[in-house]
Structures are given as C-alpha cells and as structure tokens.
Amino acid sequence: MDKFRITGGRALKGRVSISGAKNSALPCMAAAVLSAETVTLHNLPYVKDIITQRRLLEDLGATVLTPELRTHKITARHIELFEAPYELVRTMRASVLALGPLLARFGKAKVSLPGGCAIGTRPIDLHLKAFEKLGAEVRLESGNVIARAPKGGRLIGGEINFEKVTVTGTENLMMAASLARGITVLHNAACEPEISDLAELLNKMGARVRGAGTSRMEIEGVEALGSAEHTIIPDRIETGTFIAAAAITKGELEIKDCEPLHLAAVIDKFRDAGVVIQELNPSTLLVSSRSELSARDVRTEPYPQFPTDMQAQYMALMTQAEGLAVIEETVFENRFMHASELQRMGANISVDGHTAVVQGPTPLTGAPLIASDLRASASLVLAGLVASGETIIDRVYHIDRGYEKIEAKLRAVGADIERLRDSVTAPLAQSEQGTRSSEYNL
C-alpha cells in the first residue's frame, strides 16, 4: 500500500486550485441513471471514488465517455443490472445512491448493505423508510436491500419526515421522487450545497425540484427526464483543508477556483482562531497566519453549521493554538480515530464520548502513522507538515478516495511530501483492497 513521507517545518507559499466536489459529483453521476439520454458532467475531481462510481454505472450497463479527464458523458439508455454489489458498497458507501434512480426508473433495485451495519440502527434505515413512504416494498435478504416500486412500476409521491438530517438520504429521495407519480414533500431535508447542486442538475434534466438549500423541499414527479450538461461545484472540504494547511504552517496560500460562500461557518471559525482570510474575488481566497493562533471550541452539525468533514483537520490545527479547544462531534459516533495518532505525535488531546479536548500549543514530532478514514488522513497530513522530522502515513488509499493529487498540490506550494509507492500496485488501485469494517467510508 502507498504511503506518504512528509518532512515538516516548511511554511507553504503559493497558489493552489480547488477541484470539483466529490460529494456533489457522486450523486450527480447517479442521477444520470434516471434518464435514457446523455448527462454531461464537467469539473469532476480525479479521485478514486469517482472511478468507483463510474465502474458502478458501467456495471449497471451505462456507457461513460471521457472526452476530457474531468468530463464524463454518461448515457444510461440500456440498464441490464439493477444492483450495487457488496464489493463496491464496502469501499464506498455512496454506492447506495444507485438505489433511488434504479427504483424510480425501473421499479426495482438491489443494494448490498454496508458491512457491519444493521437496518434500524445505521446506516441507511432513513433512506429505506422514506422509499416505503413512496409506496416501495423494501426487504432485506442475504445482506442485500431489495426494493420494488408498487404495482404499475412507479413510485407514488408522499410526505417524508426525516428523523435526522441525512445528506445521501435526501439525495436518494430527491432522485426517486423526480420520477414518482405526484408530489413529494421532504421535511428536515439536508441543506448542504451538494443538495442544491444535484437539484440544479435534476431541474436541467427536466425535473421539478423546489426548495433545495432549505429544510423543506417539494418535488413534483415527471414522466421522464432528458439530457443535461452541468458543472460540479468546487469542493468546500478540500478548500477548508488548504486553509488549514496555510494556517498550520504559518504560510500564505492563494486558494483559487473555490466557493467561499459554501464554507462560511468554517471561514468564520478559522478567522476567530486568528487565521487571516481575505477574499480576493468571489472564487479566490488569500490565507495567511503569522501570529499565534487561539484555541476556539467547535461543534459539528449539518449545514450551514461547521461540517463534520472538517473536524479532523480542525483538531490538527488546534494542536498548534494557544489554550483549550473543546471539539464536539454530533454527526457521527466515534469519529475521533485521528486523535490517537495525533497524540502519538505529541498532541495533548483527551477524548470522552462525543467530545475531544485539545490543549495547545504542543510541538509535534514526526512518527509512523496509520490513516483510518478520508478526513482523518487529511488531518495527519496537516500534522506532518508542522511536525519536526519525518512522518510516514500508511494506508493513504483513504486520502486518494477524495483528495485530488494532494501530495502534488502540497509539493507545488513548498511542502516536503512524497508518495512512497507500493512497488507493484498502481497508484489509484489501492482502495480496491477495501476498508476494514471499523473504518469509515464516507
């Protein structure tokens, strides 16, 4: 498996360009299954999850042309398979996004349940309950969810009240309801920018989705959806990660091709902690941090609050801030696996349930580390950039799932980071090896 070797202590300086949002690209690719016509998507990030999603679409029978590296032309005219198999779902939970489109257009779908998870506790029970509200029959058989539309093959619009805000759950239902008979109302819908991006694409395809970006959405089902061309929004989590990289190394980065409006809570929190963030134009930030950082508490919550996907990177930054920072994780249970790795580098962190307390600043020293999930890997990279000596991060296939060429982008702005390749395995093939059931595959 590939590793990263980082020698810390260099202030980053220069310009970095942000890629398209993985979490927007994945549902938009799935949405192509709703139509027999071609959906063209631009600005897809070149990351492993997109390759996995493409493979899923091709396995279903869709054709995917790539006229340019970041453009996919997806045509799902002939679908032959109605299933997302375990082999794919275990490496990428977002494979469950195939469920809504397949069920809506073909009246049937089978998706393997992510490993180690049971319906009723986690992780897709809310999706399934909502499909039932649209008239689907849902049953569990040999580790698979099998869903069927009611007689006549078409879902029926209904009222859905999500008990908890779920991003992919909202997306799955937006797609399913787009081809249902009648009107569907989603209450307590997720409001993430990725939801609005998907709504924009669906409406370009001929859907009638209203209220995206608010907690109440209304979707009027149509008979069929057509072709569309769409550009994916910039990745707000990659943007936040580079802000943290500039801040932790006390460098200066110009971050371009981003959408600052999508990370207002993150920018506010960083500013409050002493990071200087200037908006040079609507898509470019200039980030610097020469003075001391101050510890600030944070609580992760659904959008527009501080995102759980920035919690690990924020924790790395807080190891370098003066004072005590209380970090509360309210979205996912036990999402502090990076804390013990940061402790091994010298960080002073105590974890109690959903809360981590970081006492800073502490000098970090390089160490051999193991990445446990996508965003945790990013936090270890940040820590490695500021640590004295050499840090080796193992299992970087996690980071390849969601960050486009992070080591090349960091090296271009002065970081001393290199990929130590597994001699025989191709660079992006690593995550084929799968994740352990204890690891998040968000």
Q: Can you tell me the distance from the alpha carbon of 259 to that of 264, in angstroms, rounded to the nearest whole number?
A: 10
Number of residues that bind ligand UD1 (CB under 6 A): 21
Work out whether 178 is an interface residue with ligand UD1 (CB under 6 A).
Answer: no
In terms of CB distance, is 75 or 95 closer to ligand UD1?
A: 95
Q: Show Cβ contacts of residue 408 under 8 Å, excluding neighbours closer than 6 positions.
A: none
Residue 336 CB, shortest distance to ligand UD1, in Å, is 14
Residue 128 CB, shortest distance to ligand UD1, in Å, is 7
Look at the block and give the residue holding tokens 């000098």. 363
Q: At what angle do helices 125-133 and 167-178 cross, to 10 degrees?
A: 20
Instruction: Considering the complex, state which of residue 41 and residue 415 has its C-beta at the smaller distance from ligand UD1.
Output: 41
Q: Which is nearer to ligand UD1, 146 or 412 (CB)?
A: 146
Please give the residues from 89 up to 118 whose contact with ligand UD1 meets the rule CB under 6 A. Answer: 93-94
Nearest distance from C-beta of residue 441 to ligand UD1, angstroms: 9
Look up 117 and say whether it is catalytic. yes
Name residue, tokens 């930054």.
Answer: 317
User: In this structure, are residues 301 and 327 in contact, taking their beta carbons and an 8 Å threshold?
Assistant: no
Binding mask 316-335 for ligand UD1 (x = CB under 6 A): ---------------xx---
Segment (H or E) for 384: helix 374-386
Instruction: Give just the sign of the alpha carbon dihedral 68, 2, 16, 259.
Output: positive
401 near ligand UD1 (CB under 6 A): no
Residue placing its CB nearer to ligand UD1 in the complex, 6 or 314: 314
Angle at 339 between CA 415 and CA 381, to 5 degrees: 15
3-state secondary structure 227-238: CEEEECCECHHH
Among the listed residues 2, 309, 341, 400, the single contact to ligand UD1 using CB under 6 A: 309
Indicate which single residue of 102, 167, 173, 371 sits in contact with ligand UD1 (rule: CB under 6 A): 167
Burial 177-212 (b: 16+ CB within 10 A, else e): bbbbbeebbbebbbbbbbbbbbbbbbbbbbbebebb
Closer by beta carbon to ligand UD1, 364 or else 397: 397
CB under 6 A: which stretch of 53-61, 166-174, 362-370, 388-396 binds ligand UD1? 166-174
- Report the catalytic residues: 117
The residues binding ligand UD1 (CB under 6 A) are 23, 26, 93-94, 122-127, 164, 166-169, 307-309, 331-332, 442
